[in-house]
Structure 1
Amino acid sequence: YSQLQCNHTCTGPELWGLVSQTCNGRSQSPVNIVTRKVLPDERLTPFHFTGYKETFYGSLINNGHSVQLNLPSSIQIKGGNLVDEYKAIQFHLHWGKDGGLGSEHTIDGEKFPMEVQYVIIKEYDSLAEASKDSTGVAVLGFSFRYLESESANEKYDHLISALKYISQPSKLYLLKNDNNLLFTLHIETKYFRYKGSLTTPDCAEAVVWTLFESTIPLSRNQLTAFSQLLFYDGQKMVNNYRPVQPLNGREVYYSSGQLALVSWPFPLQYKAP
């Protein structure tokens, strides 16, 4: 499986540079974070979210290389030493095969079963336009871990049960977000920050990355559902992650780790700090 459609002239991420030269750049993502080398940064304060309480219908789509939920731009994010206020546009996920390892980022070489990435942009009209600004895009990334018990994380049932409606590319399902899916949680603002890129072509180096240290628990059956229920070009959608890229001297920063009480418009759950 390749994340890229290129009329069979290429097979995977190692050849993306033939499609977009930027994919061979020196500030590419994802990366492996070496925790003993990160630099503490007191400017990495809690995030503030507004506009997330409204009921809305988000378009859940199979975009050919992932599952994506489009979010309303009324959801605004600031803080966290971001240079401006950003608006949400979508989240998507990366996973392995049959519940195996499939995160994009790794921590001290450890890979996780899945990674969700919330894409937010400055006040531009599109991701493509925001990508022309070196800090035009920000991504909030969260890794998943295996639940220790056989029980499922019920907060994700609504999303996972909708996957069967978008099994093929271009299929769309309207997923309702209302107060039944909103809940209050402690986001641990222990997170990593670095400057990088989009992880699919054209690999624009315009992303302020935030990777949260806490992880989201899902059962193996829940994780397996993504590679079992989603298809592209007649094949199961598996291993839709880009391998880690060289840091090339980039610094990775680490937050001060205060706690902020917020809500988020789709179910995320964290282990206790």
Structure 2
Amino acid sequence: MQQHLTVPALLLASLWTLCTGSGDWCYQSQFTCDHQCNAPEKWNHVNGDCGGRSQSPINIVTRKTLKDERLTPFQFKDYQQIFRGVIKNNGHSVKVDVPHLSTISGGGLPTTYKAVQFHLHWGTNGGPGSEHTIDGEQYPMELHIVHMKQHYADLTTALADPEGVAVLGFFYERSSSANRKYDPIINVLRSIKSTNDNTSLLPISLAQLIPSEQNMTSYYRYKGSLTTPSCTESVIWTLFEKPIPLNMDQLRMFSELKFQDGKPMVGTFRPVQPLNGRQVYQSGGAVILASSTLLVAAIATALGLSQPI
């Protein structure tokens, strides 16, 4: 009797192993009967950290954010620096390594961080595809510029430090006109359709890819993780309110890339993760306080409360 129970149990166990994949992680859009990889809900099978309590991305509920006056404007150093990068289809996204010239400081960060690489996450043909969401809204695409503390030599070492990595996240919005500053990237996507394809970029700077500094004073801040395995919880996240415009044709170009199995590289985002009691902060505390004071003064004047008795 025991044997009859064991054989089906073993069969089920082996089917389960097949179903959850053989260690390779993937996005939900890649999971099929033919390609049974570890989709996001099984990433903790690939790396235990993916089941942690401070995971990213998250949904930011704006009314629950706390204003923090320490979240001052960032200092961007050498972000205007032109460099000749290589763009690569790494099987999960497109990634560009950045020479360690560009740094960020201020913005409530504990120290100076240097840029390491940037990559993107997107949906299908310009549809919802950002990783983070704002009040439940998912943008078409999200840019991550990954930085590590200036004194570290490599990202692996930086990730061992609970505050070793700082990622700047930017949302994209659909616009009616093309954003020509993105031509160096958009124009080479056809050359890197397959996994591990790479090509040289025309000279670009990080500054041309993001909003102007005066449009980057409003942002959200929280402590989280990498959004792909190993999901290490060593990231100080900054998400800027001001989106970057791209037109529909530009957004669609990303969906022409291919995953390793040749299927369209679409839906390259991890679903939002539980907050588990973490607090999300918002910049501009001092500005809001000043305007609130003015508002109270204006109301008091209107009500005649400032008149001497």
Question: Which of the five TM-score ranges fits, normalised by the shorter chain?
Answer: 0.7 to 0.9
Correspondence for 1:252: 280
Q: Which has the larger radius of gyration?
A: 2
In the aligned structure 2, how far is the partner of 1:182 from the partner of 1:32? Answer: 27
The Cα shift of 1:232 comes to: 2.8
Given that 1:164 and 1:230 are in contact with CA atoms closer than 8 Å, whether structure 2 keeps it comes out as no
The Cα shift of 1:152 comes to: 1.4
Q: 2:44 aligns with which of 4, 14, 17?
A: 17
In the aligned structure 1, how far is the partner of 2:260 from the partner of 2:97? Answer: 19
Alpha-carbon distance change, 146 to 133 in structure 1, aligned in 2, over 3 angstroms: same
Q: Does 1:212 align with 2:212?
A: no
Alpha-carbon distance change, 91 to 258 in structure 1, aligned in 2, over 3 angstroms: farther
Q: Deviations over 1:230-272 (max 9, x none)?
A: 443211101010000000000000001799xxxxxxxxxxxxx
In the aligned structure 1, how far is the partner of 2:116 from the partner of 2:68? Answer: 27
SS of equivalent residue, structure 2 residue 249: helix
TM-score normalised over the length of structure 1: 0.87
In the aligned structure 2, how far is the partner of 1:178 from the partner of 1:146? Answer: 22
Given that 1:97 and 1:238 are in contact with CA atoms closer than 8 Å, whether structure 2 keeps it comes out as yes
Counterparts of residues 1-273 of structure 1 (less than 5 Å): 2-3=26-27, 10-122=37-149, 123-147=151-175, 149=176, 151-178=177-204, 182=208, 185=212, 186-256=214-284
The Cα shift of 1:56 comes to: 1.7
Alpha-carbon distance change, 257 to 58 in structure 1, aligned in 2, over 3 angstroms: farther
Alpha-carbon distance change, 174 to 258 in structure 1, aligned in 2, over 3 angstroms: farther
Given that 2:184 and 2:202 are in contact with CA atoms closer than 8 Å, whether structure 1 keeps it comes out as no
Given that 1:57 and 1:175 are in contact with CA atoms closer than 8 Å, whether structure 2 keeps it comes out as yes
The Cα shift of 1:229 comes to: 3.5
SS of equivalent residue, structure 1 residue 176: coil
Unaligned runs of 5+ in 2: 1-24, 288-309
Q: Deviations over 1:97-153 (max 9, x none)?
A: 111110000000011100001000012122111111000001000001111x2x212
Alpha-carbon distance change, 178 to 92 in structure 1, aligned in 2, over 3 angstroms: closer
In the aligned structure 1, how far is the partner of 2:170 from the partner of 2:286? Answer: 17
**Higher RCO structure, 1 or 2 (CA under 8 Å, sep 6+):** 1
Alpha-carbon distance change, 125 to 8 in structure 1, aligned in 2, over 3 angstroms: farther
Tell me how many residue pairs correspond in the alignment. 256
Alpha-carbon distance change, 90 to 59 in structure 1, aligned in 2, over 3 angstroms: same
Given that 2:193 and 2:256 are in contact with CA atoms closer than 8 Å, whether structure 1 keeps it comes out as no
Unaligned runs of 5+ in 1: 260-273
Q: Deviations over 1:184-219 (max 9, x none)?
A: 823331000000000000100000000001111111
Given that 1:190 and 1:258 are in contact with CA atoms closer than 8 Å, whether structure 2 keeps it comes out as no
- The alignment yields a C-alpha RMSD, in angstroms, of 2.4
TM-score normalised over the length of structure 2: 0.77
In the aligned structure 1, how far is the partner of 2:70 from the partner of 2:117? Answer: 26
Given that 2:181 and 2:208 are in contact with CA atoms closer than 8 Å, whether structure 1 keeps it comes out as no
In the aligned structure 1, how far is the partner of 2:242 from the partner of 2:81? Answer: 26
Given that 1:103 and 1:114 are in contact with CA atoms closer than 8 Å, whether structure 2 keeps it comes out as yes
SS of equivalent residue, structure 2 residue 184: helix
Amino acid at match of 1:113: P
Task: Give 1 or 2: higher strand fraction.
Answer: 1
In the aligned structure 1, how far is the partner of 2:224 from the partner of 2:263? Answer: 31
Task: Give 1 or 2: higher helix fraction.
Answer: 2
In the aligned structure 2, how far is the partner of 1:201 from the partner of 1:229? Answer: 21
Identity, in percent, stands at: 53
The Cα shift of 1:96 comes to: 0.5
